[in-house]
Chain A
Amino acid sequence: MAVGPGLAPARLQDCKRDWIRGFDSMADQALDGAAPRPLLSLRNVNMTFGGVKALKNVSFEVLPGEVHCLAGENGSGKSTLIKVITGVYKPEAGAVIDYDGQSYSHMSPVTAQASGIQVIWQDLALFPEMTVAENIAFQTVIGRWPRLVNYAEMRRVAINALQRLGVTFDVDLALHHFPIAQRQIVAIARALVGEAKLVFMDEPTASLTQSETDYLLDIVRNLSASGVAVVFVSHRLAEVLEISSRVTVLRDGALVGVYPTKGLTQSRITELMTGKTFDYSVLHRDLSRSPVMLEVKGLSRPGEFDDVSLTVRRGETLGISGLLGAGRTELALTLFGMRKPKSGSVVLDGRPVRFGSNRDAIAAGVAYLSEDRLSLGLIQPQAIADNMVIASLDKILSGGFISSDRKRSLVNRWIRDLGVRIGKQDDAISTLSGGNQQRVAIAKWLATDPKLLILDAPTVGVDVGARAGIFDIVSKLADSGLAIILISDEVPEVYFNADRVLHMAQGRIVGEFTPGATTPQAIEEAVYA
């Protein structure tokens, strides 16, 4: 019996084969027929929120069975476009939505679903208190007239959808028991229920590891082969190039163009998205004489990590790479005082420390940017400015009270440095695009002036331009004497932004690399072996 949340990757291969076979037969039917008419064609779409023009006269087209990527910086309007197509938002008058032979001036979520449009939302839009089964099969309780609920049918549908993904879950457990990566998989499974013709995937890989991502990309290929069109949004441009046949690029809510993927490169897409070019190189900092900031010896927590020893010097960025379940996040949480180690010692800035809680850790100068920051790190209905200063209130006090001038200047500084795109400081966080929310969460911790900064997957869902911006800041922070631990699932990210890279597997440190002396491929081979 599967108890609690847990993927069973060992079983992936078998199910995968069945799933592919199931689609081959359907694929044949999809292929005959002449030059394809677009499945979806959108013209004159305009959308304004308050004063912000989120979409400016956008047109967009999807062919049946194609994989079409939607690319653009944070806040460029990708999610908004998806919400217009699926009827969550009503576009301004004049818009034309042609879908599957019908013309609409706007959609409704019910029509969209009934006519075969499925969405994996960027914020997942799942129901945490409901069981996994009900989350996946929720469509079965939607409809004009009330009916009796068929729980057995729901379970069957859900188990079926999960089987297509080759994973086993306890479908009777409430969703809130599962970590973010598993919730993402539940959201994917939900979109596979029912007869889809068009599936939107808004950053579905943001919280997945490499192997899960590969698996998802296979599913996308199979959907496409069976005639289902997929619109794919991702900030990992390698994925975009690998999976799509065409790319539509948005910038500041306006259409830049539609390009066949053949012939595009990552740097070309980046250029189209931002209008700028970026180049990458390995760090070369001589830190041998820099004093040690963090020294960890023999740190263990049974079942999570074992005998971990590491040092980070002032000014150094230490990368930690590994697979999901390697114990990296658990290690980070322990260094941040949120879990207690069973044995081992931690010395921070020359002083042995033993944190009773994360408050002690923050006071001692440790900052931790969590994996799941969209739900844990930000208070959604509160203002951007308030979210940004919440961890560093002591810095903006004046005579015991919060000084609004100091608050404003602190917030302005981080908004500028991180390039956060906002309307007003006092707008609610929930009005920002996903990637911009991320930057606010990062700013919140940077504002505490930490000695040791632990970044756990800091660029999930952040566009290339902003990634460069964030790592620029990380590098400057390191130069100013901070010690930084960078945890990431993406090897190139640690390769180009860390001085040393540790490889963690099954709770142990099993390897160490120096980026200049090896290639990203070599590290990838070690990690994914």
Chain B
Amino acid sequence: MRRFVRSHATELALLAVIAVICVFLSFATDRFFTLGNAFDLLNTSSVNIIFAVGLLVVLIAGGIDISFAVAASVVQYLTATVLGWIGGGNWIVGFIIAGVLGVALGCINALLIHGFRIISIVATISTFNIFFGLLMFFTGGVSIYNLPDWLTTRVVLFEREMADGTWAEITLPVLIMAICVFATWALITRTTTGRQLYAFGDNPEGARRFGINIGAMQFIAFGWLGLMAGIAGLVQAHYAQEVVPNALYGRELDVLAAVVLGGARLGGGKGSVLGCILGVLLVSITQNGLNLMGVSPFAFKMIVGAIILAAITLSNTSIERLLPFLKSRRVPS
């Protein structure tokens, strides 16, 4: 038990913060504590969670990526265009095109970082600008509204009528998110490749001495984020029912904050899928709650920022200090 607390301190701290906020919002508003609202939260958080688990892999491997959100916009646009050319397609074709494009863009980052030895933050700030610049230049900022029918049709996986006559629904993005979460979890905790990614982020020199292929690690990490970004791009297009070139611009910082909040370390070697999801949920629950309470949207960012700070402080000061009875007796050395 004590060991569990020590190794999952961040996740537990986040859970505690989320629980407190939920209790507060349940009393402060009448709509927060309803099934419909819970499902809404899931539906709207799906895209960010897909981004987040992708970014998590890069952070674990000791890198950082600023470009993935605009990369997703590029993928959205190209996929929509290609789907137009081939005259429709379907979900499978859509995912293949978006996935391949996403991986390709991720590999450009990996190539810059590994092949040209540019540190990841600089490399991805450059690609962020290049991707976004090219996108705006070639599209002229024009959105695409005539998407294929299959892409814009809402797919409801589960629904239930509420007492007040509204419908609580779980939609397709949640399923896709669940698959991405599971795949990332399996990759980083169940496969040898995942453990090598952790090792590489934790101590690159130590990993090198084991003969871990450093280049492969970079391509896998950024390729995986690219794949997730591609998928998230397509899902976002489905959710919004349109492709707007700058719709995802700025999303990268929200996601990055949520992932770091979830315990991933800038610098590598640390982070979990659960923490990542909790990080995203904490931010969206707060936003959702403020919304329901009728707080001005201008105050949102400020309050979300304050909550991120509070949560990070709580998980840094280590649960042990807040709950001293958990402290194990120290052996003097």
A residues adjacent to B (C-beta < 8 A): 3-6, 86-88, 108-110, 112-113, 119, 121, 123-130, 134, 138-139, 141-143, 146-149, 170, 172-174, 177, 179, 181, 303-305, 324-327, 329-330, 507
Q: Is the CB of A108 within 8 A of B211?
A: yes
Which residues from chain B contact A127 at a C-beta distance below 8 Å? 198-199, 202-203, 206, 269
Q: How far is the CB of B69 from chain A (nearest CB, A)?
A: 27
**Given A109-B209, A147-B191, do A130 and B198 touch, yes or no (CB 8 Å)?**
yes
Stretch at the interface among B121-129, B285-293, B324-332: B324-332
Q: Is the CB of A125 within 8 A of B192?
A: no
Question: Can you give 27 A-B contacts (C-beta < 8 A)?
Answer: A3-B328, A3-B329, A4-B330, A86-B209, A87-B211, A88-B208, A88-B209, A108-B211, A110-B211, A112-B211, A113-B211, A119-B209, A125-B206, A125-B209, A126-B206, A127-B202, A128-B269, A130-B199, A142-B192, A142-B210, A142-B211, A147-B191, A148-B190, A148-B191, A149-B189, A172-B3, A304-B332
Cα–Cα distance between A324 and B332 once the two chains are bound (Å): 9
Cα–Cα distance between A383 and B116 once the two chains are bound (Å): 24
Q: Is the CB of B192 within 8 A of A141?
A: yes
Q: Smallest CB-CB separation from A87: which chain B residue?
A: B211
B residues adjacent to A (C-beta < 8 A): 2-3, 6-7, 189-196, 198-199, 202-203, 205-206, 208-212, 269-270, 328-333
Q: How far is the CB of B247 from chain A (nearest CB, A)?
A: 35
From A86, A88, A119, A326, residue with most partner B Cβ within 10 Å: A88
Q: Is the CB of B210 within 8 A of A109?
A: yes
Q: Is the CB of B192 within 8 A of A143?
A: yes
Q: Is the CB of B205 within 8 A of A125?
A: yes
Cα–Cα distance between A30 and B190 once the two chains are bound (Å): 39
- From A130, A139, A304, A507, give the contact of B202 (CB < 8 A): A130
Q: How far is the CB of B190 from chain A (nearest CB, A)?
A: 6
Q: Is the CB of B332 within 8 A of A507?
A: yes
Q: Is the CB of B333 within 8 A of A146?
A: no
Q: Is the CB of A173 within 8 A of B6?
A: yes
Q: Smallest CB-CB separation from B331: which chain A residue?
A: A6
- From A3, A119, A138, A174, give the contact of B7 (CB < 8 A): A174
**Given A109-B210, A147-B191, do A303 and B202 touch, yes or no (CB 8 Å)?**
no
Q: Is the CB of A146 within 8 A of B191?
A: yes
Interface class of chain B by DSSP:
helix
Which residues from chain A contact B6 at a C-beta distance below 8 Å? 173, 177
Cα–Cα distance between A321 and B192 once the two chains are bound (Å): 45
Cα–Cα distance between A304 and B6 once the two chains are bound (Å): 23
Q: Is the CB of B199 within 8 A of A138?
A: yes
Cα–Cα distance between A143 and B28 once the two chains are bound (Å): 55
**Given A86-B209, A127-B269, do A4 and B331 touch, yes or no (CB 8 Å)?**
yes
- From B7, B189, B196, B331, give the contact of A142 (CB < 8 A): B196
Q: Is the CB of A149 within 8 A of B209?
A: no
Q: How far is the CB of B271 from chain A (nearest CB, A)?
A: 9
Q: How far is the CB of B193 from chain A (nearest CB, A)?
A: 4
Q: How far is the CB of A181 from chain B (nearest CB, A)?
A: 7
Number of A-B residue pairs having CB atoms within 8 Å of each other in the complex:
104
Which residues from chain B contact A177 at a C-beta distance below 8 Å? 6
Report, nearest first, the 10 A-B pairs whose CB atoms are least far apart.
Answer: A109-B211, A125-B206, A110-B211, A141-B192, A129-B269, A127-B202, A146-B193, A141-B195, A6-B331, A4-B328
**Given A4-B330, A179-B333, A507-B332, do A121 and B209 touch, yes or no (CB 8 Å)?**
yes
Which residues from chain A contact B7 at a C-beta distance below 8 Å? 172-174
Q: Smallest CB-CB separation from B201: which chain A residue?
A: A129
Q: Smallest CB-CB separation from A329: which chain B residue?
A: B333
A sample of 18 more A-B contacts (CB under 8 A), given A86-B209, A129-B202, A138-B195, is A3-B328, A3-B329, A5-B333, A110-B211, A126-B203, A127-B202, A127-B206, A127-B269, A128-B203, A141-B195, A142-B196, A147-B192, A149-B192, A173-B3, A303-B329, A305-B332, A325-B332, A327-B332
Cα–Cα distance between A60 and B198 once the two chains are bound (Å): 36
Cα–Cα distance between A17 and B203 once the two chains are bound (Å): 36
Q: How far is the CB of A239 from chain B (nearest CB, A)?
A: 22
Cα–Cα distance between A88 and B204 once the two chains are bound (Å): 13
**Given A128-B202, A173-B3, do A149 and B332 touch, yes or no (CB 8 Å)?**
no
Q: Is the CB of B192 within 8 A of A303?
A: no
Q: Is the CB of B331 within 8 A of A129?
A: no
Q: How far is the CB of B68 from chain A (nearest CB, A)?
A: 23
Q: How far is the CB of B245 from chain A (nearest CB, A)?
A: 37
Cα–Cα distance between A305 and B206 once the two chains are bound (Å): 36
Cα–Cα distance between A456 and B160 once the two chains are bound (Å): 69
Q: Smallest CB-CB separation from A88: which chain B residue?
A: B209
Q: Is the CB of A129 within 8 A of B270?
A: yes
From B6, B205, B210, B329, residue with most partner A Cβ within 10 Å: B210
Which residues from chain A contact B202 at a C-beta distance below 8 Å? 127-130
Which residues from chain A contact B195 at a C-beta distance below 8 Å? 134, 138, 141, 149
Which residues from chain B contact A507 at a C-beta distance below 8 Å? 332
**Given A172-B3, A173-B3, A327-B332, do A138 and B210 touch, yes or no (CB 8 Å)?**
yes
Q: How far is the CB of A119 from chain B (nearest CB, A)?
A: 7
Which residues from chain B contact A304 at a C-beta distance below 8 Å? 332
Which residues from chain B contact A179 at a C-beta distance below 8 Å? 333
Which residues from chain B contact A146 at a C-beta distance below 8 Å? 191-193
Q: Smallest CB-CB separation from B208: which chain A residue?
A: A88
Which residues from chain B contact A87 at a C-beta distance below 8 Å? 211
Q: Smallest CB-CB separation from B186: which chain A residue?
A: A148
Which residues from chain B contact A5 at a C-beta distance below 8 Å? 331, 333
Q: Smallest CB-CB separation from A143: which chain B residue?
A: B192
Q: Is the CB of B208 within 8 A of A3?
A: no
Cα–Cα distance between A128 and B205 once the two chains are bound (Å): 13
Cα–Cα distance between A181 and B270 once the two chains are bound (Å): 23
Q: How far is the CB of B200 from chain A (nearest CB, A)?
A: 9
Q: How far is the CB of A39 from chain B (nearest CB, A)?
A: 21
Q: How far is the CB of B65 from chain A (nearest CB, A)?
A: 20
Q: Is the CB of A181 within 8 A of B333?
A: yes
Which residues from chain B contact A143 at a C-beta distance below 8 Å? 192
Q: How far is the CB of B252 from chain A (nearest CB, A)?
A: 25
Cα–Cα distance between A318 and B18 once the two chains are bound (Å): 55
Q: How far is the CB of B108 from chain A (nearest CB, A)?
A: 23
Cα–Cα distance between A126 and B205 once the two chains are bound (Å): 9
Cα–Cα distance between A326 and B6 once the two chains are bound (Å): 27
**Given A128-B203, A130-B198, do A142 and B212 touch, yes or no (CB 8 Å)?**
yes
Q: How far is the CB of B206 from chain A (nearest CB, A)?
A: 4
Q: How far is the CB of B136 from chain A (nearest CB, A)?
A: 38
Cα–Cα distance between A113 and B212 once the two chains are bound (Å): 12
Cα–Cα distance between A262 and B87 once the two chains are bound (Å): 85
From B191, B199, B209, B332, residue with most partner A Cβ within 10 Å: B332
